[in-house]
Amino acid sequence: MGELGEYRRRRDPERTPEPVPAEGPLPRGDDDTFVIQEHHARRLHWDVRLERDGVLVSWAVPKGLPVEPGSPRLAVHTEDHPLEYADFAGEIPAGEYGGGTVTIWDRGHYETRKWSGRTVDVVLHGQQARGRFVFFRTGGERDWMVRRMDAPADPDWQPLPEAPEPMLATAGTLPPLAEDADWGYEFGWGGQRALARVEGGRVQLLAGGADVTAEHRDVRGLGGALGSTQVLLDGQLVALGAEHPTSFLIADVLHLDGRCCQPLPYARRRELLDALDLRGRAWQTSPWYSGGGADVLRAARDRGLPGVLAKRLESGYRPGRRSRDWREITGVDALQVVIGGWRPRAADGLPASLLVGAPDGTAYLGTVSAGLTEPQRHELAPRLHRAARRSSPFPAGAPAGGRWVTPSLHGEVVFEGWTRRGTLRRPRWRGLLGS
Ligand code: MN
């Protein structure tokens, strides 16, 4: 250690923006500063450099310094770098040694506990790297490993768990309009459910209890995008088109940088996920919408997607559970309608069913009784009486014997398609609009 010959041999100062100092006596420092550079080269790694005897003694650590004590990580001992390198960040041209992007991940002071040709035992005092780390040689000159010796600086730090069983939805229909604002809505993509465990820039993709990382090579780039962020993601593997590779569409975050996110409300987890800004060729954050379920359902139908997932905004993540807090809505569409008539219930005269039409009043669309709740019947009754009229407002098609009203009360239904006569198949009432 302590010579820059190999560093100079590997670099042409005409071709790389890296500092290449003139030959001469090495500067003298206090052997107490370090820098860690995140290096997006052919493979992402972190370069840990400790100032010692006028150079930066360096290791390339493929997964970065371990946050937790326990298993050591590979640390490839590389050539000494000049002290000036501690300030270097930039783009090394492709084709040059170490071609790729270098950023400064952390820097600070360190203390030496032991320094020999086989063991380097130091305490780092950085912003992100804080604690005691031991580098130890395991074989040839380049073969080293690094282990964290003390507990994480953050006492609440929780290690990244093994991937749990994903939470499941129950089949259902859109929540009533009165509850719409309590729900978040996502597109159902009809893909394969998968969890991604990302740590040290490396992705492990799990689906149906199997490791499918090797089958989705493009998704591995997500590791580089996340850098040192440690995360457990839930999503779907979807083929968006024949000419596209499979995309991982991410809808939830279960663990993030030492914190379990599962007890957090869905809306908060979605904020954390959105902040990660995951957008790549083979991965995307799946969009979500707070409220407006009918619009999301219509958009899903327009795009030919199999359906919509409704998730209660306040709900936590329950691994392996089929929960009523998540609803999978398939095979239905949503529509705005106007009430043109109704039929009373024999027992109490409250509305038993509603005769609905297109909002412009031009067509009768069918009779709706499913989905009407008791509070809705009580709310509707006085309004229907106030709007009473003698004749059907529909030009044609409405059944005889209804109680007719002026078409002024607008509502929303979900339905499973159209009959041959042009009426709604299996319509279900969601509620009055604007009430
Ligand atoms: Mn490097």
Over the stretch 290-299, which tens digit does the pLDDT of each residue have? 999 999 999 9
Strands (E), 316-370: 322-330, 333-344, 351-357, 364-368
CA-to-CA distance for 284 and 246, rounded, in angstroms? 11
Percent of the chain with pLDDT over 90: 82
Single-letter residue type at 257: D
In this prediction, residue 435 carries a pLDDT of 58
Q: How confident is the model at residue 1 (pLDDT cuts 50, 70, 90)?
A: very low
Dihedral sign of CA atoms 14, 15, 21, 23 in order: negative
Alpha helices for 286-398 (secondary structure H): 293-302, 374-386
Answer whether 400's CB lies under 8 Å from 391's CB: no
> 278 Cβ partners below 8 Å, 6+ apart?
222, 225, 226, 250, 284, 285
Instruction: Measure 38 CA to ligand 1 centroid, in angstroms.
Output: 8
Instruction: Measure 210 CA to ligand 1 centroid, in angstroms.
Output: 33
Nearest to 61 by CA among 79, 73, 49: 73
> 127 Cβ partners below 8 Å, 6+ apart?
106, 108
Instruction: Measure 62 CA to ligand 1 centroid, in angstroms.
Output: 9
Classified as helix, coil or strand, 264 is coil
In this prediction, residue 70 carries a pLDDT of 81
Instruction: Measure 98 CA to ligand 1 centroid, in angstroms.
Output: 6
Instruction: Measure 101 CA to ligand 1 centroid, in angstroms.
Output: 9
Instruction: Measure 44 CA to ligand 1 centroid, in angstroms.
Output: 8
Percent of the chain with pLDDT over 70: 99
Single-letter residue type at 393: P
**C-alpha count within 13 angstroms, C-beta hemisphere, residue 245:** 13
Instruction: Measure 27 CA to ligand 1 centroid, in angstroms.
Output: 23
Instruction: Measure 43 CA to ligand 1 centroid, in angstroms.
Output: 9
Average pLDDT of the chain? 94
Q: Which residues of 220-248 are buried (b: 16+ CB within 10 A; e: fewer)?
A: bebbbbbbbebbbbbbbbbeeeeeeebbb
Instruction: Measure 13 CA to ligand 1 centroid, in angstroms.
Output: 17
Strands (E), 126-180: 130-137, 143-148, 168-171
Instruction: Measure 217 CA to ligand 1 centroid, in angstroms.
Output: 23
Instruction: Measure 2 CA to ligand 1 centroid, in angstroms.
Output: 19
Instruction: Measure 37 CA to ligand 1 centroid, in angstroms.
Output: 8
Q: What is the pLDDT of residues 170-216, one digit of tens each?
A: 998 899 898 999 999 999 998 999 999 999 999 999 998 899 999 99
The average pLDDT across 205-233 equals 94
Instruction: Measure 34 CA to ligand 1 centroid, in angstroms.
Output: 15
Residue 308 class from Cβ within 10 Å (0-12 exposed, 13-18 middle, 19+ buried)?
buried
Instruction: Measure 76 CA to ligand 1 centroid, in angstroms.
Output: 10
